[in-house]
Protein backbone atom coordinates (compact mmCIF):
# COMPACT_ATOMS: atom_id res chain seq x y z
CA UNK A 1 0.00 0.00 0.00
CA UNK A 2 1.27 3.49 -0.82
CA UNK A 3 2.51 5.61 2.05
CA UNK A 4 0.04 8.18 3.33
CA UNK A 5 0.83 11.47 1.53
CA UNK A 6 -0.23 13.62 4.50
CA UNK A 7 1.67 14.18 7.72
CA UNK A 8 0.11 15.51 10.87
CA UNK A 9 2.85 15.19 13.44
CA UNK A 10 5.40 17.87 14.03
CA UNK A 11 6.69 20.30 11.47
CA UNK A 12 6.16 19.46 7.83
CA UNK A 13 8.86 19.90 5.21
CA UNK A 14 9.57 18.96 1.60
CA UNK A 15 6.70 17.46 -0.38
CA UNK A 16 4.46 17.49 2.71
CA UNK A 17 4.57 21.27 2.83
CA UNK A 18 2.66 23.41 0.37
CA UNK A 19 1.94 27.07 -0.42
CA UNK A 20 2.77 29.92 2.03
CA UNK A 21 4.83 31.67 -0.64
CA UNK A 22 3.87 35.17 0.51
CA UNK A 23 4.36 34.34 4.18
CA UNK A 24 7.76 32.75 3.58
CA UNK A 25 8.91 35.80 1.64
CA UNK A 26 7.89 38.17 4.42
CA UNK A 27 9.50 36.06 7.13
CA UNK A 28 12.74 35.57 5.18
CA UNK A 29 12.96 39.29 4.46
CA UNK A 30 12.45 40.11 8.11
CA UNK A 31 15.09 37.59 9.22
CA UNK A 32 17.68 39.08 6.88
CA UNK A 33 17.02 42.79 7.38
CA UNK A 34 19.07 44.18 10.27
CA UNK A 35 17.04 45.32 13.27
CA UNK A 36 13.68 44.46 11.72
CA UNK A 37 10.87 43.35 13.98
CA UNK A 38 8.02 41.22 12.70
CA UNK A 39 5.05 39.80 14.56
CA UNK A 40 3.60 36.61 13.07
CA UNK A 41 0.35 35.63 14.68
CA UNK A 42 -2.61 33.43 13.92
CA UNK A 43 -4.77 30.74 15.38
CA UNK A 44 -3.42 27.40 16.47
CA UNK A 45 -2.59 24.67 13.96
CA UNK A 46 -2.39 27.04 11.01
CA UNK A 47 1.12 25.95 10.14
CA UNK A 48 3.12 28.83 11.61
CA UNK A 49 5.95 26.81 13.09
CA UNK A 50 6.44 24.83 9.88
CA UNK A 51 6.60 28.03 7.83
CA UNK A 52 8.97 29.67 10.33
CA UNK A 53 11.29 26.65 10.31
CA UNK A 54 11.31 26.57 6.53
CA UNK A 55 12.02 30.30 6.27
CA UNK A 56 14.92 29.93 8.72
CA UNK A 57 16.25 26.99 6.74
CA UNK A 58 16.05 28.95 3.49
CA UNK A 59 17.89 31.92 5.01
CA UNK A 60 20.67 29.66 6.29
CA UNK A 61 20.99 27.95 2.90
CA UNK A 62 21.40 31.33 1.28
CA UNK A 63 24.40 32.08 3.50
CA UNK A 64 22.33 34.05 6.01
CA UNK A 65 22.14 33.35 9.74
CA UNK A 66 18.92 32.57 11.52
CA UNK A 67 17.52 30.26 14.17
CA UNK A 68 14.34 29.43 16.08
CA UNK A 69 13.89 29.36 19.83
CA UNK A 70 10.77 27.33 20.62
CA UNK A 71 9.31 28.78 23.81
CA UNK A 72 6.15 26.66 23.82
CA UNK A 73 7.23 24.53 26.77
CA UNK A 74 9.05 27.19 28.81
CA UNK A 75 7.83 27.61 32.40
CA UNK A 76 10.16 30.39 33.54
CA UNK A 77 12.02 33.32 32.03
CA UNK A 78 15.20 31.33 32.70
CA UNK A 79 13.87 28.58 30.40
CA UNK A 80 13.45 31.18 27.66
CA UNK A 81 17.14 32.07 28.01
CA UNK A 82 18.04 28.40 27.65
CA UNK A 83 15.96 27.91 24.54
CA UNK A 84 17.63 30.90 22.91
CA UNK A 85 21.13 29.78 23.87
CA UNK A 86 20.47 26.25 22.67
CA UNK A 87 18.88 27.40 19.42
CA UNK A 88 21.83 29.69 18.72
CA UNK A 89 24.42 27.04 19.52
CA UNK A 90 22.68 24.35 17.47
CA UNK A 91 22.10 26.48 14.37
CA UNK A 92 25.18 28.68 14.36
CA UNK A 93 27.47 25.96 15.72
CA UNK A 94 27.25 24.20 12.37
CA UNK A 95 28.80 27.22 10.68
CA UNK A 96 31.14 28.72 13.26
CA UNK A 97 33.52 27.15 15.74
CA UNK A 98 33.02 27.44 19.51
CA UNK A 99 29.71 29.27 19.37
CA UNK A 100 28.53 27.81 22.66
CA UNK A 101 31.72 28.75 24.50
CA UNK A 102 31.74 32.15 22.84
CA UNK A 103 28.18 32.87 23.97
CA UNK A 104 28.89 31.54 27.45
CA UNK A 105 31.88 33.86 27.77
CA UNK A 106 29.84 36.88 26.88
CA UNK A 107 27.24 36.22 29.56
CA UNK A 108 27.11 37.54 33.08
CA UNK A 109 25.47 34.31 34.21
CA UNK A 110 26.85 30.88 35.09
CA UNK A 111 26.48 28.63 32.09
CA UNK A 112 27.15 24.94 31.72
CA UNK A 113 27.78 23.21 28.41
CA UNK A 114 26.13 19.88 27.62
CA UNK A 115 26.73 17.81 24.52
CA UNK A 116 23.60 17.30 22.42
CA UNK A 117 23.15 13.55 21.96
CA UNK A 118 21.95 13.78 18.38
CA UNK A 119 24.48 16.20 16.93
CA UNK A 120 27.37 16.18 19.40
CA UNK A 121 27.21 19.99 19.49
CA UNK A 122 27.73 21.70 22.82
CA UNK A 123 24.57 23.40 24.11
CA UNK A 124 24.77 26.09 26.78
CA UNK A 125 22.36 26.12 29.74
CA UNK A 126 22.12 28.78 32.42
CA UNK A 127 22.39 27.70 36.04
CA UNK A 128 19.30 25.84 37.31
CA UNK A 129 19.30 28.09 40.38
CA UNK A 130 18.20 30.92 38.15
CA UNK A 131 14.79 29.32 37.63
CA UNK A 132 13.99 30.05 41.26
CA UNK A 133 15.65 33.45 41.38
CA UNK A 134 13.77 36.77 41.42
CA UNK A 135 11.94 37.58 38.22
CA UNK A 136 14.17 40.61 37.89
CA UNK A 137 17.33 38.48 37.87
CA UNK A 138 15.79 36.12 35.35
CA UNK A 139 14.90 39.03 33.09
CA UNK A 140 18.40 40.47 33.42
CA UNK A 141 19.84 37.15 32.28
CA UNK A 142 17.45 37.01 29.33
CA UNK A 143 18.61 40.51 28.42
CA UNK A 144 22.23 39.50 28.58
CA UNK A 145 21.58 36.38 26.47
CA UNK A 146 20.00 38.49 23.74
CA UNK A 147 22.80 41.05 24.07
CA UNK A 148 25.30 38.23 23.61
CA UNK A 149 23.60 37.15 20.38
CA UNK A 150 23.64 40.75 19.17
CA UNK A 151 27.34 41.15 20.05
CA UNK A 152 28.17 37.87 18.37
CA UNK A 153 26.47 39.06 15.19
CA UNK A 154 28.20 42.44 15.34
CA UNK A 155 31.64 40.89 15.85
CA UNK A 156 31.09 38.50 12.95
CA UNK A 157 29.77 41.28 10.76
CA UNK A 158 26.42 39.61 10.08
CA UNK A 159 22.75 39.92 10.93
CA UNK A 160 21.27 37.09 12.97
CA UNK A 161 17.57 36.42 12.52
CA UNK A 162 15.93 35.16 15.69
CA UNK A 163 12.46 33.61 15.77
CA UNK A 164 10.83 33.45 19.20
CA UNK A 165 8.01 30.95 18.65
CA UNK A 166 5.12 31.19 21.16
CA UNK A 167 6.65 34.30 22.68
CA UNK A 168 3.32 35.53 24.15
CA UNK A 169 3.61 33.23 27.16
CA UNK A 170 6.48 35.30 28.50
CA UNK A 171 3.84 37.54 30.05
CA UNK A 172 2.25 34.52 31.75
CA UNK A 173 5.32 33.66 33.79
CA UNK A 174 7.29 36.89 33.59
CA UNK A 175 4.48 39.39 34.08
CA UNK A 176 3.71 42.45 31.98
CA UNK A 177 7.09 43.82 33.09
CA UNK A 178 8.70 41.04 31.08
CA UNK A 179 7.03 42.41 27.94
CA UNK A 180 8.39 45.90 28.57
CA UNK A 181 11.79 44.50 29.35
CA UNK A 182 11.81 42.45 26.16
CA UNK A 183 10.75 45.51 24.19
CA UNK A 184 13.64 47.52 25.64
CA UNK A 185 16.20 44.83 24.84
CA UNK A 186 14.93 44.19 21.32
CA UNK A 187 14.91 47.89 20.53
CA UNK A 188 18.58 48.39 21.21
CA UNK A 189 19.76 45.58 18.93
CA UNK A 190 21.02 46.55 15.50
CA UNK A 191 22.45 43.16 14.49
CA UNK A 192 19.59 40.88 15.44
CA UNK A 193 16.31 40.86 13.58
CA UNK A 194 13.39 39.53 15.54
CA UNK A 195 10.40 37.50 14.45
CA UNK A 196 7.96 37.15 17.34
CA UNK A 197 5.44 34.43 16.64
CA UNK A 198 2.41 33.25 18.55
CA UNK A 199 -0.83 31.34 18.37
CA UNK A 200 -2.98 33.03 20.99
CA UNK A 201 -4.51 35.92 19.07
CA UNK A 202 -6.59 37.13 22.01
CA UNK A 203 -3.41 37.60 24.08
CA UNK A 204 -1.32 38.94 21.24
CA UNK A 205 -3.82 41.54 20.17
CA UNK A 206 -3.76 42.86 23.71
CA UNK A 207 0.05 43.01 23.69
CA UNK A 208 0.04 45.39 20.72
CA UNK A 209 -2.73 47.68 21.95
CA UNK A 210 -1.98 51.32 22.81
CA UNK A 211 -0.39 51.50 26.24
CA UNK A 212 1.03 48.01 26.00
CA UNK A 213 4.64 47.02 25.47
CA UNK A 214 4.61 46.08 21.81
CA UNK A 215 2.37 48.89 20.61
CA UNK A 216 3.59 50.37 17.36
CA UNK A 217 6.87 48.49 17.37
CA UNK A 218 6.23 45.49 15.17
CA UNK A 219 5.39 44.89 11.53
CA UNK A 220 2.51 42.45 11.48
CA UNK A 221 1.89 39.30 9.48
CA UNK A 222 -1.46 37.69 10.18
CA UNK A 223 -1.07 33.99 9.52
CA UNK A 224 -4.40 32.89 8.09
CA UNK A 225 -5.69 29.81 6.29
CA UNK A 226 -4.31 28.41 3.05
CA UNK A 227 -6.64 29.46 0.23
CA UNK A 228 -9.34 26.73 0.22
CA UNK A 229 -9.63 26.08 -3.52
CA UNK A 230 -5.85 25.75 -3.81
CA UNK A 231 -5.60 23.49 -0.76
CA UNK A 232 -8.45 21.30 -2.02
CA UNK A 233 -6.70 20.70 -5.34
CA UNK A 234 -3.34 20.07 -3.63
CA UNK A 235 -5.00 17.41 -1.46
CA UNK A 236 -6.47 15.63 -4.48
CA UNK A 237 -3.18 15.82 -6.31
CA UNK A 238 -1.37 14.25 -3.33
CA UNK A 239 -3.99 11.49 -3.20
CA UNK A 240 -3.66 10.80 -6.92
CA UNK A 241 0.12 10.65 -6.57
CA UNK A 242 -0.35 7.90 -3.98
CA UNK A 243 -2.84 5.94 -6.08
CA UNK A 244 -6.22 7.23 -4.93
CA UNK A 245 -8.40 8.82 -7.57
CA UNK A 246 -10.64 11.49 -6.24
CA UNK A 247 -12.93 14.13 -7.56
CA UNK A 248 -14.57 16.57 -5.20
CA UNK A 249 -13.21 15.06 -2.02
CA UNK A 250 -10.78 17.98 -1.53
CA UNK A 251 -13.55 20.56 -1.51
CA UNK A 252 -15.63 18.48 0.87
CA UNK A 253 -12.67 18.08 3.24
CA UNK A 254 -12.37 21.87 3.32
CA UNK A 255 -16.08 22.12 4.19
CA UNK A 256 -16.04 19.68 7.06
CA UNK A 257 -12.62 20.44 8.58
CA UNK A 258 -12.81 24.24 8.81
CA UNK A 259 -9.95 26.65 8.22
CA UNK A 260 -7.05 25.26 10.26
CA UNK A 261 -4.30 23.66 8.23
CA UNK A 262 -3.67 20.79 10.59
CA UNK A 263 -7.34 19.86 10.93
CA UNK A 264 -7.67 19.78 7.16
CA UNK A 265 -4.53 17.66 6.82
CA UNK A 266 -5.82 15.35 9.55
CA UNK A 267 -9.12 14.72 7.76
CA UNK A 268 -7.26 14.26 4.46
CA UNK A 269 -4.92 11.75 6.07
CA UNK A 270 -7.79 9.73 7.55
CA UNK A 271 -9.69 9.97 4.29
CA UNK A 272 -6.71 8.59 2.40
CA UNK A 273 -6.45 5.63 4.77
CA UNK A 274 -10.10 4.78 4.17
CA UNK A 275 -9.92 5.26 0.42
CA UNK A 276 -6.64 3.45 -0.20
CA UNK A 277 -8.52 0.16 0.17
CA UNK A 278 -10.66 0.83 -2.89
CA UNK A 279 -8.34 3.33 -4.61
CA UNK A 280 -11.18 5.82 -4.87
CA UNK A 281 -12.31 8.72 -2.70
CA UNK A 282 -15.70 10.39 -3.00
CA UNK A 283 -16.99 13.53 -1.34
CA UNK A 284 -18.90 11.43 1.20
CA UNK A 285 -15.63 9.86 2.35
CA UNK A 286 -14.65 13.24 3.77
CA UNK A 287 -17.70 13.09 6.05
CA UNK A 288 -16.82 9.56 7.16
CA UNK A 289 -13.20 10.58 7.76
CA UNK A 290 -14.37 13.54 9.85
CA UNK A 291 -16.54 11.18 11.92
CA UNK A 292 -13.49 8.94 12.43
CA UNK A 293 -11.44 11.91 13.63
CA UNK A 294 -14.15 12.76 16.17
CA UNK A 295 -14.47 9.13 17.33
CA UNK A 296 -10.70 8.79 17.79
CA UNK A 297 -10.82 11.58 20.35
CA UNK A 298 -13.86 10.26 22.19
CA UNK A 299 -12.01 9.49 25.45
CA UNK A 300 -10.29 12.85 25.63
CA UNK A 301 -13.44 14.81 24.79
CA UNK A 302 -15.57 12.81 27.24
CA UNK A 303 -13.03 13.55 30.01
CA UNK A 304 -13.07 17.21 29.13
CA UNK A 305 -16.88 17.25 29.12
CA UNK A 306 -17.02 15.69 32.59
CA UNK A 307 -14.92 18.50 34.00
CA UNK A 308 -17.29 21.22 32.83
CA UNK A 309 -20.08 22.68 34.90
CA UNK A 310 -23.60 21.86 33.67
CA UNK A 311 -23.97 25.47 32.57
CA UNK A 312 -20.75 25.36 30.55
CA UNK A 313 -22.00 22.17 28.92
CA UNK A 314 -25.22 23.94 27.95
CA UNK A 315 -23.28 26.88 26.55
CA UNK A 316 -21.30 24.51 24.33
CA UNK A 317 -24.50 22.80 23.17
CA UNK A 318 -26.03 26.16 22.34
CA UNK A 319 -22.93 27.30 20.50
CA UNK A 320 -22.77 24.08 18.48
CA UNK A 321 -26.38 24.36 17.36
CA UNK A 322 -27.08 28.09 17.17
CA UNK A 323 -23.63 29.57 16.60
CA UNK A 324 -24.62 33.05 17.65
CA UNK A 325 -27.26 34.92 19.54
CA UNK A 326 -26.63 32.87 22.67
CA UNK A 327 -28.36 35.43 24.84
CA UNK A 328 -31.57 35.59 22.80
CA UNK A 329 -34.66 34.50 24.67
CA UNK A 330 -35.22 31.62 22.27
CA UNK A 331 -31.74 30.20 22.73
CA UNK A 332 -31.53 30.63 26.49
CA UNK A 333 -34.88 28.88 26.83
CA UNK A 334 -34.02 26.05 24.46
CA UNK A 335 -30.65 25.26 26.05
CA UNK A 336 -31.36 26.19 29.64
CA UNK A 337 -28.85 29.04 29.79
CA UNK A 338 -28.54 31.38 32.75
CA UNK A 339 -28.20 35.19 32.67
CA UNK A 340 -26.24 36.79 29.88
CA UNK A 341 -23.41 37.62 32.27
CA UNK A 342 -23.19 33.96 33.27
CA UNK A 343 -23.07 33.02 29.59
CA UNK A 344 -20.27 35.55 29.00
CA UNK A 345 -18.37 34.16 31.95
CA UNK A 346 -18.67 30.60 30.68
CA UNK A 347 -17.53 31.67 27.23
CA UNK A 348 -14.54 33.58 28.63
CA UNK A 349 -13.46 30.59 30.71
CA UNK A 350 -13.65 28.33 27.66
CA UNK A 351 -11.59 30.83 25.62
CA UNK A 352 -8.96 30.92 28.37
CA UNK A 353 -8.87 27.15 28.38
CA UNK A 354 -8.22 27.24 24.62
CA UNK A 355 -11.45 25.37 23.78
CA UNK A 356 -13.17 28.31 22.10
CA UNK A 357 -11.85 31.24 20.13
CA UNK A 358 -13.34 34.64 19.90
CA UNK A 359 -13.31 36.68 16.77
CA UNK A 360 -11.48 39.97 16.72
CA UNK A 361 -14.45 42.27 16.75
CA UNK A 362 -17.98 41.44 17.67
CA UNK A 363 -19.15 38.71 19.91
CA UNK A 364 -18.95 35.60 17.79
CA UNK A 365 -17.37 32.53 19.34
CA UNK A 366 -16.29 29.36 17.63
CA UNK A 367 -14.94 26.01 18.72
CA UNK A 368 -11.15 25.89 18.53
CA UNK A 369 -11.37 22.32 17.27
CA UNK A 370 -13.89 21.22 14.66
CA UNK A 371 -13.59 17.73 16.15
CA UNK A 372 -14.76 18.90 19.58
CA UNK A 373 -17.67 20.66 17.89
CA UNK A 374 -18.45 17.41 16.07
CA UNK A 375 -18.27 15.53 19.37
CA UNK A 376 -20.71 17.89 21.07
CA UNK A 377 -23.05 17.65 18.08
CA UNK A 378 -22.96 13.89 17.82
CA UNK A 379 -22.73 12.91 21.49
CA UNK A 380 -24.13 15.64 23.69
CA UNK A 381 -27.23 16.88 21.87
CA UNK A 382 -29.33 13.75 22.25
CA UNK A 383 -29.57 14.61 25.96
CA UNK A 384 -31.86 17.42 24.93
CA UNK A 385 -33.53 15.60 22.06
CA UNK A 386 -31.65 17.11 19.13
CA UNK A 387 -30.23 14.85 16.42
CA UNK A 388 -27.84 16.37 13.91
CA UNK A 389 -25.11 14.93 11.66
CA UNK A 390 -21.58 15.00 13.09
CA UNK A 391 -20.49 17.44 10.40
CA UNK A 392 -23.25 19.93 11.23
CA UNK A 393 -22.12 23.54 11.44
CA UNK A 394 -24.23 26.32 12.84
CA UNK A 395 -25.42 28.80 10.24
CA UNK A 396 -23.58 32.09 10.55
CA UNK A 397 -24.18 35.51 9.14
CA UNK A 398 -21.81 36.03 6.24
CA UNK A 399 -18.62 37.67 7.41
CA UNK A 400 -17.22 40.63 5.50
CA UNK A 401 -14.32 39.42 3.38
CA UNK A 402 -12.17 42.26 4.64
CA UNK A 403 -8.58 42.04 5.71
CA UNK A 404 -8.63 42.06 9.50
CA UNK A 405 -7.72 45.31 11.16
CA UNK A 406 -5.41 45.14 14.11
CA UNK A 407 -5.69 46.98 17.35
CA UNK A 408 -3.00 49.44 16.31
CA UNK A 409 -4.78 50.24 13.07
CA UNK A 410 -2.23 48.52 10.86
CA UNK A 411 -3.37 46.37 7.98
CA UNK A 412 -1.95 42.92 7.64
CA UNK A 413 -1.80 43.17 3.87
CA UNK A 414 -1.97 39.43 3.41
CA UNK A 415 -3.00 37.89 0.13
CA UNK A 416 -5.14 35.25 1.76
CA UNK A 417 -5.88 37.04 4.98
CA UNK A 418 -9.27 35.94 6.23
CA UNK A 419 -11.20 37.33 9.08
CA UNK A 420 -10.33 35.12 12.03
CA UNK A 421 -12.88 32.54 13.12
CA UNK A 422 -14.54 32.14 9.76
N1 LIG B 1 2.23 24.49 4.48
C2 LIG B 1 1.67 23.34 4.87
N3 LIG B 1 1.35 22.40 3.96
C4 LIG B 1 0.76 21.25 4.37
N5 LIG B 1 0.47 20.94 5.63
C6 LIG B 1 0.77 21.84 6.58
C7 LIG B 1 1.38 23.09 6.24
N8 LIG B 1 1.55 23.78 7.38
C9 LIG B 1 1.05 23.03 8.37
N10 LIG B 1 0.59 21.86 7.92
C11 LIG B 1 -0.07 20.80 8.73
O12 LIG B 1 -0.39 21.37 9.99
C13 LIG B 1 0.32 20.70 11.05
C14 LIG B 1 0.70 21.71 12.10
O15 LIG B 1 1.70 22.59 11.61
P16 LIG B 1 2.55 23.54 12.56
O17 LIG B 1 2.98 22.82 13.78
O18 LIG B 1 3.56 24.17 11.71
O19 LIG B 1 1.42 24.61 12.93
P20 LIG B 1 1.39 25.71 14.08
O21 LIG B 1 0.54 26.82 13.57
O22 LIG B 1 2.75 26.04 14.53
O23 LIG B 1 0.61 24.92 15.21
P24 LIG B 1 0.58 25.17 16.80
O25 LIG B 1 -0.48 26.17 17.02
O26 LIG B 1 0.21 23.82 17.36
O27 LIG B 1 1.93 25.63 17.22
C28 LIG B 1 1.46 20.01 10.36
O29 LIG B 1 1.90 18.87 11.07
C30 LIG B 1 0.83 19.62 9.03
O31 LIG B 1 -0.01 18.49 9.18
MG1 LIG C 1 3.64 26.10 16.42
Would you say the CB of residue 266 lies under 6 angstroms from ligand 1? no
What is the arithmetic mean of pLDDT over 132-142?
Answer: 91
Instruction: State residue 300 phi and psi, 5-degree precision.
Output: -65, -40
Q: Distance of CA 21 to CAs 54, 55, 139, 229, Å?
A: 11, 10, 36, 16
- 139 within ligand 1 shell (Cβ under 6 A): no
Q: Is the model's pLDDT at 139 over the cut of 80?
A: yes
DSSP secondary structure letter of residue 293: H
Question: How far apart, in Å, are the Cα atoms of 324 and each of 173, 359, 384?
Answer: 34, 12, 19
Ligand 2 midpoint to CA 50 (Å): 7
> Ligand 1 centre and the CA of 272: distance in Å?
18
From ligand 2's centre to the CA of 109, what distance in Å? 29
- Quick one: the chain helix, strand, coil %, rounded to 5? 50, 10, 35
Does 265 contact ligand 1 (Cβ within 6 A)? Answer: yes
261-266: average pLDDT: 98
CA of residue 49 to ligand 2 center, whole Å: 4
CA-nearest of 202, 151, 135, 145 to 352 is 202
Q: Are the folds of 228-296 and 308-384 the same? A: no
pLDDT band of 403, cuts 50, 70, 90: very low
- Distance between Cα 165 and ligand 2 center (Å): 7
Confidence of residue 247 (pLDDT cuts 50, 70, 90): confident
- pLDDT digit string (tens) for 298-319? 999 999 999 999 999 999 999 9
Domain ranges across the chain: 20-222, 228-296, 308-384
Q: State in Å: Cα 126 to ligand 1 middle.
A: 31
- Asked which of 165-174, 189-198, 210-219, 254-263 is least confident by mean pLDDT, the reply is 165-174
Better-scored residue on pLDDT, 361 or 83:
83
Q: What is the pLDDT of residue 364?
A: 87
Partner residues linked to 41 by β-bridges: 198, 222
Atom 29, ligand 1: which residue's CA is nearest?
A: 8
The mean-pLDDT minimum among 170-174, 187-191, 378-382, 390-394 falls in: 170-174
Q: Bigger pLDDT: 281 or 404?
A: 281
| Cβ of residue 50 lying under 6 Å from some atom of ligand 1 | yes
Average pLDDT of the residues in 363-386: 95
For residue 422, the model assigns a pLDDT of 33
Q: Which residues of 280-312 are buried (b: 16+ CB within 10 A; e: fewer)?
A: ebbbebbbbbbbbbbeebeeebeeebeebeebb
Q: How far apart are the first and last CA of the chain?
A: 37
Q: What is the value of pTM for the model shown?
A: 0.91
Which atom of ligand 1 has the smallest separation from the CA of 17?
3
Q: Which helix (H) or strand (E) holds 402?
A: none
Cβ(416) – ligand 1 distance below 6 Å: no
| 20-222, CATH topology level | Rossmann fold (3.40.50)
- The fold for domain 308-384 equals Arc Repressor Mutant, subunit A (1.10.10)
pLDDT at res. 398? 55
Question: What's the confidence (pLDDT) of residue 176?
Answer: 83
* Residue 203: band (very low, low, confident or very high) from pLDDT cuts 50, 70, 90: confident
CA atoms within 13 A on the CB side of 260: 19
Q: Whose alpha carbon is nearest atom 2 of ligand 1?
A: 17
CA dist list (Å): 389 to 320, 335, 372, 378: 12, 19, 14, 7
Q: Which atom of ligand 1 is nearest to the CA of 53?
A: 18
Rounded distance, CA 401 to CA 225, Å?
13
Q: What is the rounded average pLDDT for all residues in the chain?
A: 91
Q: For a pocket test of ligand 1, which of 7, 262, 368 has the largest count of ligand atoms closer than 8 A to its C-beta?
A: 262
Per CATH, which fold does 228-296 belong to?
Answer: Helicase, Ruva Protein; domain 3 (1.10.8)
- Give the model confidence (pLDDT) of 327-359 as tens digits: 899 999 999 999 999 999 999 999 999 999 987
Give the least confident one: 13-22, 122-131, 382-391. Answer: 122-131
Amino acid sequence: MAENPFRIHGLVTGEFFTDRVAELTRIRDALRRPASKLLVYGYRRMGKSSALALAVDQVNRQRGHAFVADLSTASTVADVSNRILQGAAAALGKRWKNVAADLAMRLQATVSLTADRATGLLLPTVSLQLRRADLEDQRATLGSVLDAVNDLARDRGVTIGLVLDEFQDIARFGGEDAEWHLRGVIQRHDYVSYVLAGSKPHLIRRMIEPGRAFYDMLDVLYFGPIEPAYFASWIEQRMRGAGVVSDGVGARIMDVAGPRTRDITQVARTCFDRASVTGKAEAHDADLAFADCVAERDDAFADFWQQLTPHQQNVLRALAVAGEGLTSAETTGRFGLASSSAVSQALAALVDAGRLVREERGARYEFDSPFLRGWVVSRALLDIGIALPVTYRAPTLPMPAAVPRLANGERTGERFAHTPDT
